[in-house]
Amino acid sequence: MNERQLAEDILAIVLENAVKHEAQKVRTISVLVGELSDIKMSVLTQAFVELAANTLAAHAELDITYIPAVVYCHECKKRMTVEPSKFICSVCGSTRLEILTGDSLQIEDIEFD
């Protein structure tokens, strides 16, 4: 996972929205991070702080919420949430699971001043 690239993408989206809202500055950026993602949030946050310096998003707070992964079992055709440490179907025990959500990051909300 390239945290710096991800931080750049987040910043671009945030700044685009800030301009649209004619914001003075960005206060909080709420992000949803899948529990199965391999994003190192400390690295991402550090990269974001560096990139956001001298922009409207300088001093913005990253509010991180972890969301459980939802998978689809190809064996018993059911959807369920799984723990990152226990990647098997809770119904039939199969490991033929497809990740539907929970392996990525998305911006949920941005607050401006």
Binding site for Zn ion (CB under 5 A): 73, 75-76, 89, 91-92, 94
C-alpha span between 84 and 107 (Å, rounded): 21
- Nearer to Zn ion by Cβ, of 21 and 78: the residue is 78
**Which residues are 62's β-sheet partners?**
29
Nearest distance from residue 103's CB to Zn ion, in Å? 19
Backbone φ, ψ for residue 14 (5° rounding): -60, -45
Nearest distance from residue 35's CB to Zn ion, in Å? 19
Pairing state of beta strands 97-101 and 69-73? antiparallel
Nearest distance from residue 71's CB to Zn ion, in Å? 9
Q: Do 88 and 82 contact (CB within 8 A), yes or no?
A: yes
